[in-house]
Structure 1
Amino acid sequence: MRQTFDQTTDPGFGARHLPLLRERMAAQGLDAFLIPHEDEHQNEYLPEANERLAWATGFSGSAGAAAVTANAATIFVDGRYTTQVAAQTDKALFDYRELTADGMADWVADQPKGSVIGYDPRLHSPDALARLRRAADRVSVELKPVMENPIDLAWEDRPDQPAAPVVPHEDRYAGESAASKRARIGQAVARAGAEAAVITAPSSIAWLFNIRGGDVIRSPLPIGQAIVDADGKARLFLDPRKVTDGLASWLRNEVSLQPAEALPAALDALSGKAVMIDPAQSSAWYFDQLDQAGARIVRGMDPCALPRATKNAVEIEGSRQAHLRDGAALATFLHWVATEAQDTLPDEREIVEKLEACREATGALKDLSFDTIAGAGPNGALPHYKPTTETIRRIEKGSLLLVDGGGQYLDGTTDVTRTMAVGEPTAEQKDRFTRVLKGHIAMAVVRFPAGTTGHQLDALARLPMWEAGLDYDHGTGHGVGSYLGVHEGPQRIAKAVNTQPLLEGMILSNEPGYYKPGHWGIRIETLQVVTPAVVPEGGERPMHGFEQLTFAPIDRALIEVDLLTPAERAYVDAYHAETWAKIGPLVAGEVKSWLEQACAPL
C-alpha cells in the first residue's frame, strides 16, 4: 500500500507518444481523436491500464481531457490543475483550455468542415456525446465511433487490466444484506417503469452485492457490470480471475455469476424490454448496444446511487469509529509536525511516509483513500498536488505545510486536511487561514431546510473570502463512501448547480481553502454527516444539520482570534474540547500531552 513517488509523468510524454498516436489515427482515417480522462467505467481514479490521458499527454490529474489532430493538440483542465498541467506537459505541443461542459464541444466547432473526429464510445457518456454531436453538425464535422482505441493500439507496454480478488463485505459493516438491497433496487426499477436495470458503476456493484475488490487505485472497488431485474434477481459479470472461493455462495442463488465476456449477449437478450440505465454513469457503448438490441431505454439515475449515498445507522457508526481510529493516527502525525519536524525540516516524501506509517500503526488500515497530498510552501498552492520525484520540497521556516490524506478501513473511509505553520506564521498567513476557518465553521454549524442542495449552501463557506476579494477554485464539499470511493455522488457542495438535496445519512467533506500561487496554500477539511436538526420553538419546517465525524486539532498558531466572532471562537473551543475528549484516551505519552495543549481553549 506504500505510496510511490517515481510513477509520474513528464513533459516528454507528448513528444514521445503523440507521434505514435497520430500514426494509428491516420491508419483509421481520423483527422482528430478525443481523449477523456474517464475510462470504461467512468472512474475518477483509474487502473494504470486505463490512464490513457496521462499516456498521451503527461498530465496526471484526476480530471481533464484532450483533443489531438494531425499537427496540434489541446488539453482541457479545470482551475485545480492549471499549474500542474503547465508543469507536466510541453507548451510547445499543447494548447490549454478550460474544462467546462461545453469546452470540448467548442473545440469541435472550431474544426475544419469535413473533418473526421474519432471517439471511443466506451469512454464518453451519451449526454457528453450529444453536446459534441450538436457542435459537429453545426460545422459539418463527422464524429466517428471507433471500437479499437488508437491509444490502446499505440501503447506497446500497456499494463494488464487489473484482476484483484472480489471478496464479501460482511453485513456487520454494510448494515443491510445484499438480498434486502436487491429487493429495494428491484422495486425502484419497477417504479421507474422498467423491467431491468443495467448497473455499471463499480461503487454501485460493490454496494449492491456487499462485495469489495481492488481494481481501482485507492478504492476497494471491483470492476464489473450487473443486470438487476424488477423482481430483485440479478446477473453479475466479472472477470473469472477475480472470483474467489465462496463468492458464489455469498451471492446466493438469486444472483447468477457470469464471465465478463457474456455481457454483450446478455444485453442483446434484453430485446423488447424496458431497461433502466444512467446516462451519467454508463458510457454511450451501453446505450448503443441496447438500442441495437431493440430494448426500450429508460434513462434515469443509477438506482443504487441514492441508497448508497444515504448511509444507514450501521455505516454511520462505522464511520464514527473509523474516524476515531484515524484521529489517533492524525494526532500522532500532527504532534510530529509540531515538534520534531520543526527542527529537522523533512521533505514531502518523508511527511507522506510518516502519515502513512501512523495510519498503518492502527492495524486496521486496508489502503489509503487517495494518494496523500503533502504540499510544502509553493506546492501547497496546488490544490491536488501529489509529491513526485521531480517536485519534492522540504518544509521551510516561515511557510506553511498542507497535508490532505485519508484511509480506507472496513468500517469507513476518511479524508482530512490540516494546514500547519512551520516556524512563526506571518500576518497574511494568519488572516487567510482565519478566513478559511470562518468559512469552514459556517458550513459546520449551518441549519438548513429539508430539500436544500449543496449548491445553495456553498456561498456560506466562501463569504469570509469574498469579503476580502478572495476565493478558491474547487468545490467546498464532496460525498464520501462507506469503505468505497472517497469521492461519491450525487451529493456535493459547490458553485456548480446541483439539484440533489442533501439527505439524512449523506457524508460530505467541508473543505474551503485559499491558495497563493508560488507561496503557500491553506485548506481545512473535515467530514460531516447530514442529520436531522432540532427545530427551534416556533419553527415551522423540518431542518437538517451536520454532525462532525473528523476530530483532529486545528493549528491555533494560525488563528487570528480577533477575526473570529464570539460564536466562532466558541465553536473552535467546543470542537477542540470534543477532539480532546474523543482522541485523548486513544493516545499516550508526549502525543497526549501535546494534544491537550493543541486542544486548549483559544
Structure 2
Amino acid sequence: MNDTRPLPDPAARLQALRTALDAAGVDGFILPRGDEHLGEYVAACNERLAWLTGFTGSAGLAIVLPETAAVFSDGRYTLQLAEQTDASLWSRQHSIEQPPEAWLARHLTASRSRIGYDPWLMSPDALARFETALKEKGGVLVPLQPNPVDALWTDRPAPPMEAARPHPPEYAGRDSAAKRHEIAAVLKQAGQQAVVLTDPASIAWLLNLRGADVPFTPLALGFAILRDDEGVVLFMHPGKLDAGMRHWLGNGVQLEPPEALPAALSALAGQTVRLDAGGSAAWFAQRLREAGATVSAAPDPVLLAKSRKNAVEQAGARSAHHRDGVALCGFLHWLDESGVGQTEMALAAKLDGFRAASPLYRGESFPAISGSGPNGAIIHYRVTPETDRTLAADEVYLIDSGAQYPDGTTDVTRTIWSGPGPAPDAVREHYTRVLRGHVAVAATRFPQGAPGARLDSLARAPLWEIGLDYDHGTGHGIGSFLSVHEGPCSIHPRNQGVPLEPGMILSDEPGYYRTGAYGMRIENLLLVQDAPLAEPDGRRFLAFETLTLAPFDRRLIEAALLHEHERSWIDRYHARVLSEVGPALPDAARTWLQAACAPL
C-alpha cells in the first residue's frame, strides 16, 4: 500500500520526484508554475512549484534531472528565489539571462534523454522552444499524465468550487450577445469555424460573468468553445452555476461539465479551430490534431477586445480610482502619524482596512508588497511572519497594492520617507529620477500604432543618465474587475508589438532598487485617450489620462533636479488630487493632504 503521509521538506520531495520519474522511464521533468489555464494566479491545488521548491513567486519553472535541478524566474524575483529555495538542492537561474530550454540542453547527459512534461501546464509555443533545444542534443519530450507531482502531494488541497455570478451591464457596458457577435465576426473573417477559449478571463469578459475560484482575480474556472455562428459551449462544473446564473447566460450558451471537453474537441474534426499557441495548454492542440481538426495558431481574439475598455468601463475605472484614492490618502495620512514602529504586515492590513470601509470593496487585486528598508529592494517582495520587519524612523517604505471593485481594478505604488529627519541626498536623487521617468510616460503624446516598447525608454532615461536601471517592465495592462496583469498591451522593452489603443488601461511604474538598502517605485494607472492637438497634420495622436489619485512624497523630491515641465505636471497632478479626493476625507486627513499636495 502507498504511503500517503505528506513528504516533510523540499529535499524529500525532490528525491521522491526523482524516484517517480525513474519509474516512469524518463530522465527529467519540466514543471512550470501554473495550472491548466496558464494563468498568473492559481488555486492552491495547483501550486505545484511552491510545493516542490518552496518558491512562491507568480512566475517560475523548475527542471529536475537525475543529478541536478534548477528553478527559474525573472528579475522581479531574483532575491525572493534566493531566499525561498535551498541552494544545495536547486540552482537558481534568471529566466531571461539563462533560458530554461538552453539550460536543459546543456545539462543533458545522454544522447537520447527522455524529458517528461505535463501537457496541461505548457503551451505549444513553450513546448516548441524545448523541442528545438533538445533536438540538437538528441533529447525528446515525453508527455506524462497524470502529473507525477500530484501522486506525491498527498495533502493537496481540493479544487475550488466557488459559485459563478453575473457581471451586470452597469459595470460591463455591453451585453454578452454583442460581444459574441464581435468575436464571431473575427473568426469568420479569418476563415475559422471555432475558437477554443482556455483563459477564464476571456470567458468572464465574453459571457459577463465573474467568480472566486482563484485568489485576487474574480474568475470562475472553466473552458469554452465559441463558434462562428455566435453559439458558445461552456465547460464548467455544474455546481458553480445555480438557476439564476443559468438564466443569466441564456439560450445562446450551452452548459457542459468539464468531462465533456475531450468529446467536444473531437467533434470539431474537419474544422479550422483557432487556438492561442502561447496562452493555451499543449493538450488542446494535441487533442484537436488527433481528432482531425486543423489548428490555426493565433492570439485569443478576446484579448484585444477586452483590453479596449468601453465608455461604461472607463467611467467605472474613474469611480473605482476615486474611491481607492480616498482610502489610500487616508492611509498615507495615518502612516505619517503612526507608521513608525508598525510591522510590514500591520501596515498592509491597515491599508486593506481603509479600502474595506467601502461597501463596493471586493478584496485585494494582488498580495500587497509592503517593504521597509532593505525589504523594499525585493521587487516582488511578499511579507511573511518570518520576514515581517518593523518600519523604523528615517528609512524608505514601499507599498504596492491594489483593489478589486465591481466597476474597476486598481494598482498603485507609493514610496514614503518615514522621517522625522530629512532623507539623504542619494535617496532623494534616486526617487526624483524615478519620478521624472514616471512623469515622462504619463505626460507623453504618441502616434497611433505605437507599441508600448516605444515608450519604455522614456521612463528609464533619467536613471540611465547616472548609470542606473531596473529589472522589470515599466507598465502592464489592467482588467476591468478582472486581472491586475492583463495582456496584450504593455510598456516593456520586449513588448510583442501590440499597438496602444484608446480605452486601454496600463500601469506606469518605473523604479530603482538598491540591494540591502531600499527600493522605490512610483505607480499610477493610465487610460489611453485621443490627444487634443493644437496643430494636427491629419495623423492621429494618443495621450494618457491619469486615473490614480494619491500624492507623491514631497520629502523625497529634489526639486532642483526637475525640469520646469516636470515640476508643472506634478503641481497640476497634486492640485487635482486635492480637489477630487480632499472633499471626501475627514478634516484631519484633508488638512494633511493640503500640505502633501502643496506646489513644489
Structure 1 and Structure 2 fold alike (TM over 0.5): yes
1:403-459: per-residue Cα shift (whole Å, max 9, x none)?
000100000000000000011311111000000000000000000000000011100
**Counterpart check, 1:128 vs 2:136:** no
- Superposition pairs of residues 22-33 of structure 1, within 5 angstroms: 22-33=18-29
Cα RMSD after superposing both structures? 1.1
Q: Provide the secondary structure at the position in 2 that maps to 1:246.
A: helix
> 1:350 & 1:407 partners in 2: Cα distance?
17
Contact map agreement 1:421 1:555 (CA 8 A) in 2? yes
| Residue 352 in structure 1 maps to residue 348 in structure 2 | yes
Q: Does 1:375 align with 2:371?
A: yes
Q: Which residue of 1 aligns with 2:3?
A: none
| Aligned residue number for residue 168 of structure 2 | 170
User: After the TM superposition, which parts of structure 1 deviate over 4 Å for at least 4 consecutive aligned residues?
Assistant: none
Other-structure match for 2:75: 79
Please name the residue that 1:109 is paired with: 105
CA distance in 2, matches of 1:249, 1:502: 36
The one-letter code matched in structure 1 to 2:32 is P
| Identity within the alignment, % | 47
Deviation at 1:369, TM superposition (A): 0.2
- Given that 1:347 and 1:395 are in contact with CA atoms closer than 8 Å, whether structure 2 keeps it comes out as yes
Deviation at 1:79, TM superposition (A): 1.1
Check if 1:502 corresponds to 2:500: yes
Q: Does 1:397 align with 2:361?
A: no
Q: For 1:515, what is the secondary structure of its paired residue?
A: strand
Match of 2:224 among 226, 231, 241: 226
Contact 1:398 1:426 (C-alpha < 8 Å) held by counterparts: no
Counterparts of 2:66 and 2:10, CA distance in 1: 13
> Secondary structure at 1:189's aligned position in 2?
helix
Map of 1:3 onto structure 2: none
Q: Which residue of 2 aligns with 1:95?
A: 91
**Aligned counterpart in structure 2 of residue 298 of structure 1, from 282, 296, 299:** 296
Q: How far is the alpha carbon of 1:70 from its aligned partner?
A: 2.1
- In 1, Cα distance between equivalents of 2:132 and 2:594: 61
Larger deviation: 551-560 or 538-547? 538-547
Secondary structure, in 3 states, of the residue corresponding to 1:393? coil
Residues 531-574 of structure 1: CA deviation (Å, up to 9, x unaligned)? 00012315341100000000001100000000001111111100
Preserved CA contact (<8 Å) 1:13 1:57: no
Taking structure 1 as reference, are residues 102 and 85 closer, same or farther at Cα in structure 2, changes over 3 Å only?
Answer: closer
SS in 2 for 1:453: coil
Structure 1, residues 462-492: CA drift from partner, whole Å, max 9, x if none? 0000001000000000000000000000000
In structure 2, what residue type is equivalent to 1:489? G
Q: Distance in 1 between matches of 2:536 and 2:500?
A: 24
Q: Is the 8 A contact 1:215 1:221 kept in 2?
A: yes
Superposed, which structure 2 residues align to 1:71-470 within 5 Å?
Answer: 71-100=67-96, 103-110=99-106, 111-112=108-109, 113-342=111-340, 345-423=341-419, 424-470=422-468
TM-score, with structure 1 as normaliser: 0.96
Q: CA deviation at 1:402?
A: 0.1
Which amino acid in the other structure matches residue 563 of structure 1? Answer: L
Q: For 1:53, which of 49, 52, 64 is the aligned residue?
A: 49
Is contact 1:78–1:99 with CA below 8 Å preserved after alignment? yes
Equivalent residue, structure 2, for 1:588: 586
| TM-score normalised by structure 2 residue count | 0.97
5+ unaligned residues in a row in structure 1: which ranges? 1-11
Structure 2 counterpart of 1:360, which letter? A
Q: Equivalents in 2 of 1:583, 1:214: separation in Å?
A: 31
SS state of the match for residue 236, structure 1? Answer: strand
Q: Return closer, same or farther for 1:102/1:393 CA change in 2, 3 Å cut-off.
A: closer
Contact residue 535 and residue 541 of structure 1 kept, 8 A: no
Q: CA deviation at 1:398?
A: 2.1
Q: Equivalent residue for 2:470? A: 472
Contact 1:476 1:493 in 2 (8 A): yes
Give the direction of change, closer, same or farther, for the CA distance of 1:101–1:86 in structure 2 (3 Å limit). Answer: closer
Q: Does 1:43 pair with 2:26?
A: no
1:601 matches 2:590: no
Q: Give the distance between the partners of 1:13 and 1:331, measured in 2 at CA.
A: 43
Match of 2:498, SS? coil
Contact 1:24–1:153 (Cα < 8 Å) also in 2:
no
Q: Which residue is 1:70 aligned to?
A: 66
Query: Residue 334 of structure 1 aligns to which amino acid in structure 2?
Result: L
Cα deviation code 1:207-233 (max 9, x no counterpart): 000000111210001110110010111
Amino acid at match of 1:407: A
Per-residue deviation, 1:82:
1.1
- Superposed displacement of residue 101, structure 1: 9.0
- Amino acid corresponding to residue 385 of structure 2 in structure 1: T
Amino acid of the structure 1 residue aligned with 2:355: R
TM-superposition CA deviations, 1:484-522 (whole Å, max 9, x none): 000000000011142100011000000000000001000
**Structure 1 equivalent of residue 5 of structure 2:** none
1:17 to 13, 20, 34: 13
Give the Cα–Cα distance (whole angstroms) in 1 for the partners of residues 584 and 176 of structure 2: 34
Q: Classify the secondary structure of the residue corresponding to 1:76.
A: strand
Q: Deviations over 1:381-404 (max 9, x none)?
A: 011001101111011122100000
Task: Answer yes or no: is the 8 Å Cα contact 1:535–1:542 preserved in 2.
Answer: no
| 2:301 alignment partner, SS class | coil
2:561 & 2:98 partners in 1: Cα distance? 41
SS in 1 for 2:568: helix
For 2:480, what is the secondary structure of its paired residue? coil
2:530 to 502, 514, 532: 532
Long gaps (5+) in structure 2: 1-7
Contact 1:359-1:365 within 8 A present in 2 as well: yes
Residues in 2 aligned to 1:134 and 1:461: alpha-carbon distance in whole angstroms: 36
Q: Given residue 480 of structure 1, which amino acid in structure 2 is its aligned partner? A: I
